[in-house]
Amino acid sequence: MKKIRVTIWNEFVHELAEEKIRKVYPDGIHGAIAAQLSAQPDFEIRTATMDMPEHGLTDEVLDNTDVLIWWSHKKNGEVSDEIAQKVKNRVLDGMGFIPLHSAHLCKPFTLLMGTVCRSKWRENDEKERLWVIEPSHPIAEGLPEYIELPQEETYGERFEIPAPDELVFMSWFSGGEVFRSGCCWKRGLGKVFYFRPGHEEYPTYYREDITRILTNAVRWAAPLAFTHPTLGYYPALEAIADKFEGQDDAARMHQNLY
């Protein structure tokens, strides 16, 4: 069985700094998600956190990641620009990317979206009703018409993102807001799925239905076997006249013009 190599990244700040959050996620949010997803026989799970060298996202790790799950909040602005650009480039090259909750403001996501990705928000222990609006989408497989989360942080439109290629989930909150909570995009050769629920104070990531969504999302975002396209200079496939005949390759590839 070919394994889907999943890296779960978490800044791992709230859990270390706040006792009330540590009680909810004693092994960190990344640890909770890893424990839930590790039940899947076709998943190979590793975790990484911000305090590791290169934020735990070395070239070796990224080279061996099919899908990167990302949770962040307080330290969004402190992620290395170099690492953020590497993540973006890996997505464009085919890696799946699943930013969760407040990771809508993380650098890799904003780079991939090309917008600031802000929204309304309020932390008030309100109920969230997560409606499945594309029940035939692979990420919605096995779900009911809606999921109710008794307490979650409230997000509200407008959510400053490019229009999703596919919108799988829409949230309603007891305070009245609505929010596009499950958004899919193609970026280059890769797939991106933003999923909103998962405030650090609530045990959202232990829920079976939320785990089902993340499991489905990993399988959806995982790259298929494909031939990477050749980009840049490319010799003709057919027998045609060569305007640079007799000249060196530097002239043919315009390497000697500047």
Distant-in-sequence, close-in-space partners of 52: CB < 8 Å, separation ≥ 6: none
How confident is the model over 52-57, as a mean pLDDT? 97
d(CA 171, CA 177): 8
pLDDT of residue 16: 93
User: Residue 8 pLDDT > 60, yes or no?
Assistant: yes
pLDDT of residue 92: 97
The encoded tokens of residue 79 equal: 């992620």
Going by pLDDT thresholds of 50, 70 and 90, the confidence category of residue 258 is low
Q: Which domain holds residue 170?
A: 4-221
Residue 207 lies in a domain: yes
pLDDT of residue 81: 98
Q: How far does Cα 246 stand from its chain's mean position?
A: 50
Mean pLDDT of the chain: 96
Extended strands (E) in 51-205: 67-71, 96-100, 120-132, 146-156, 166-173, 178-187, 190-195
Extended strands (E) in 50-119: 67-71, 96-100
CATH number at 197 reads 3.40.50.880
pLDDT of residue 257: 59
> pLDDT tens, 65-82?
999 999 999 999 999 999
Residue 253 lies in a domain: no
pLDDT of residue 255: 83
How confident is the model over 220-243, as a mean pLDDT? 90
How confident is the model over 187-208, as a mean pLDDT? 98
Residue 188 lies in a domain: yes
Count of domains forming the chain: 1
> pLDDT tens, 116-167?
999 999 999 999 999 999 999 999 999 999 999 999 999 999 999 999 999 9
pLDDT of residue 253: 83
Residue 217 lies in a domain: yes
Residue 249 lies in a domain: no
d(CA 61, CA 90): 11
Residue 175 lies in a domain: yes
Residue 235 lies in a domain: no
Q: Checking DSSP bridges between strand 178-187 and strand 166-173, what pairing results, if any?
A: antiparallel
pLDDT of residue 244: 86
Residue 166 lies in a domain: yes
User: Residue 172 pLDDT > 90, yes or no?
Assistant: yes
User: Residue 225 pLDDT > 90, yes or no?
Assistant: no
